[in-house]
Amino acid sequence: MKNKIRQISFKVRLFLSFLLVIIVIGIIAYTYGSFFISDNVYGRAQREVARNINSAWNEYNNEIENIKTIADFLSGVHCNEYRTNKVLLAKIKEKYKIDYIVFTPGKVNEKIAENSRPRAETRIVSAKELKELSNNLAERAFIKSKETEMAKKIPVSDLKDGLVMEATVSYFDTKEPEKGTLRIGKLLNKNSEIIDKINNIIFEDQKYKQKSIGTVTLFLKDIRVATNVLTLNGERAIGTHISETVYDKVITKGTKWRDRAFVVNEWYITAYDPIKDSKGNIVGILYIGRLEAPFLEIRDIMRRDLFLLLLLSTLLCVLISYWISIAIDRHFIQMTAAVKQIANNDLNVRVSKDTGITEFNILAEAFNAMAMALNEDRREILEANEKLNAANKNYLDMVGFVSHQLKGILGSIVMNIYSIKEGFLGEINEKQKKAIDSVARILDYFENMVKNYLDLSRIEKGELEIRPVTLDFSEDIIKTAIQHFEKQAQEKNIKIENNISSGIKISADKGLMLIVCDNLLSNAVKYGARNGSIILSSEDAGEEYFKFVFYNDSEPIPDDKKDMLFKKFSRLPGTEKIKGSGIGLFIARQIIEKHDGKITHEAVKTGNRFSLLIRKRSN
């Protein structure tokens, strides 16, 4: 009876464990799923609005182009016919919805005169200028300012100025003769036609709960002068103000807004773009918005469906886990006892293969087979392990021996070659000198390649240990590295200019940091332009890092080839004729990252810049 209680207790604990895992996974799945749904729905809305604002700009610019076309038409050969004929001008204004056409004789603005094509812009026209053009325009431009929820708290007054699309061009009347300036403009204040046209093109006639799914607005500064956004009483929200957050970003900072925003009385997924005049001053805003509510409804429906799906899945998993816990509990004690016997080196133990559960039968057969083969397997594993250890030891010993022997031999050969080259062992003729120069270059390359492969071996075996000390980067590293490649640079008439001043202290491993700088200078010389320059400089990169820049005159590396720079055994196209191992920058990057730093590349017009971010000396 006591054993039965223990079995039931174990079964319950096992079932509760399954249940806990199922619940946790369900919560995680729902949380992640909800986030994924929200992110995708909101992302889709933002992408649609981004496309919508581009379409709105296309239509807006088309309106401006139409005005420019009319200005071009009236300033050309038709100037004589139209300039003094008010009837014809009235027909033009009526046909093309133009609000004013003004021929001003006299001196022409230089910027207008030097360009035969009309210049168009959106600008603010003062109330005085509007009244001079037409009393009707001044009346149309007047907009009563209205208090708006969440708008910026600034003093506001009724709007009397006008936002206009205007084209300006010089004209010459051959009949008079007379020259002057032609201005053609369209007032945007209360101009619902443009707004509705853009809205119909973008949103067609889509509705959500009897409300248009999209809105379009033109602002003069922060005041709506033309819009299809409606107030609670169903009127166009002309005279209302932009929200404070949008005002600060678009009007104050002059940047675009792509986010949700509160528009009069609803939340929208919006795009606000500043409208600028010909001088670059912000005169207004073009706005496109999609009602947020439909997207939220889609999100909520998808969340609900996900919740129901996960709930049903959880219930099913609970039932399955309960059945599994019963099955496992039945044979668990038998299997546990057999395992204990195996642990005590009793390899004759066997378990029943008739459990009624296929998986447990397979497990029992496997367990029995394991017990029978355990001694043999153990013996084979030990033998194989001994052989592997011996082979690995032999390999490491061979690599160490060959590396040291080869490095020593190379050093001796290089020293002797340079002794012959410099004439220390007797004079040599020009032909011999050229041959020895060729051998010296090959040996330099070979020596550098051996060093790189030795460094790569240390990295691959995980033996790259950092022993940081306080270093003067210029004195301890850069000047030594320059000495290594001074001769190669002189052969290509490359000037090395070290602008890194003494006294810049870093915390780094001296030997490893020298490897990095050697690789960068080696590449700068190998791939640098003949008769060019290598410029080394430094700058402070914050509280913790210094930035060191290695620049060389060379062919700029295109952005699409940057990924190849720091890969192992990678060579850029077009460099095959220049000898290299293809691992120098890979090694440099590994070392810098071991120092908690960063190495980057930037192509400039005349060459390439490699930058190192290295930690400052610890105080």
Mean pLDDT by groups of 10 residues along the chain of 619 residues = 50 71 78 74 82 92 92 76 79 88 73 67 92 88 86 78 92 67 91 91 81 89 91 87 90 90 82 93 93 80 80 78 68 73 71 69 75 72 75 53 59 70 71 68 60 60 75 88 85 90 86 86 88 91 88 88 76 61 78 88 90 80
Do 299 and 234 fall within a single domain? Answer: yes
d(CA 357, CA 382): 36
Q: Which domain holds residue 424?
A: 347-462
Q: Which residue reads 């959500």 in tokens?
A: 208
In a domain, 251, yes or no: yes
What is the pLDDT, as a whole number, of residue 285? 95
202 Cβ partners below 8 Å, 6+ apart? 52, 55, 56, 214, 216, 288
Do 155 and 256 fall within a single domain? Answer: yes
262 Cβ partners below 8 Å, 6+ apart? 149, 150, 243, 268
d(CA 332, CA 327): 9
In a domain, 482, yes or no: yes
In a domain, 319, yes or no: no
Do 71 and 181 fall within a single domain? Answer: yes
Nearest to 79 by CA among 176, 212, 215: 176
Q: Are 604 and 556 in contact (CB under 8 A)?
A: yes
What is the pLDDT, as a whole number, of residue 1? 42
Residue at a domain's end among 427, 462, 497:
462
Do 475 and 395 fall within a single domain? Answer: no
Structure tokens at 131: 């009244």
d(CA 348, CA 412): 66
Residue at a domain's end among 272, 304, 336:
304
Do 471 and 442 fall within a single domain? Answer: no
Structure tokens at 160: 């009397």
In a domain, 398, yes or no: yes
Other C-beta atoms closer than 10 Å to the C-beta of 440 total: 19
Do 80 and 148 fall within a single domain? Answer: yes
Do 122 and 97 fall within a single domain? Answer: yes
What is the pLDDT, as a whole number, of residue 5? 44
Which amino acid is located at 348 in the chain?
N
**Looking at residue 470, which CATH number applies to its domain?**
3.30.565.10
- 451-471: per-residue pLDDT in tens? 655 665 666 566 667 788 888
Which amino acid is located at 537 in the chain?
S
Do 223 and 285 fall within a single domain? Answer: yes
Do 280 and 355 fall within a single domain? Answer: no
In a domain, 8, yes or no: no
Q: Are 96 and 103 in contact (CB under 8 A)?
A: no
Residue at a domain's end among 250, 276, 304:
304
**Looking at residue 142, which CATH number applies to its domain?**
3.30.450.40
Do 229 and 82 fall within a single domain? Answer: yes
Which amino acid is located at 380 in the chain?
E
What is the pLDDT, as a whole number, of residue 231? 83
Do 102 and 164 fall within a single domain? Answer: yes
Q: Which pTM value belongs to this model?
A: 0.48
Instruction: Work out how many domains the chain is built from and give that number.
Output: 3
What is the pLDDT, as a whole number, of residue 4? 47
In a domain, 84, yes or no: yes
Nearest to 603 by CA among 561, 545, 540: 561
Do 256 and 404 fall within a single domain? Answer: no
- 390-435: per-residue pLDDT in tens? 665 565 455 455 555 566 666 667 677 767 767 776 777 777 766 6
Nearest to 341 by CA among 326, 351, 328: 351
Q: Are 578 and 527 in contact (CB under 8 A)?
A: yes
CA-CA distances (angstroms) from residue 596 to 184, 320, 591, 612?
A: 63, 49, 9, 11
In a domain, 335, yes or no: no
H or E element: which one contains 451?
A: helix 430-460
What is the pLDDT, as a whole number, of residue 561? 80
In a domain, 417, yes or no: yes
CA angle 515, 516, 519 (to 5 degrees): 85
Which DSSP state fits 98? -
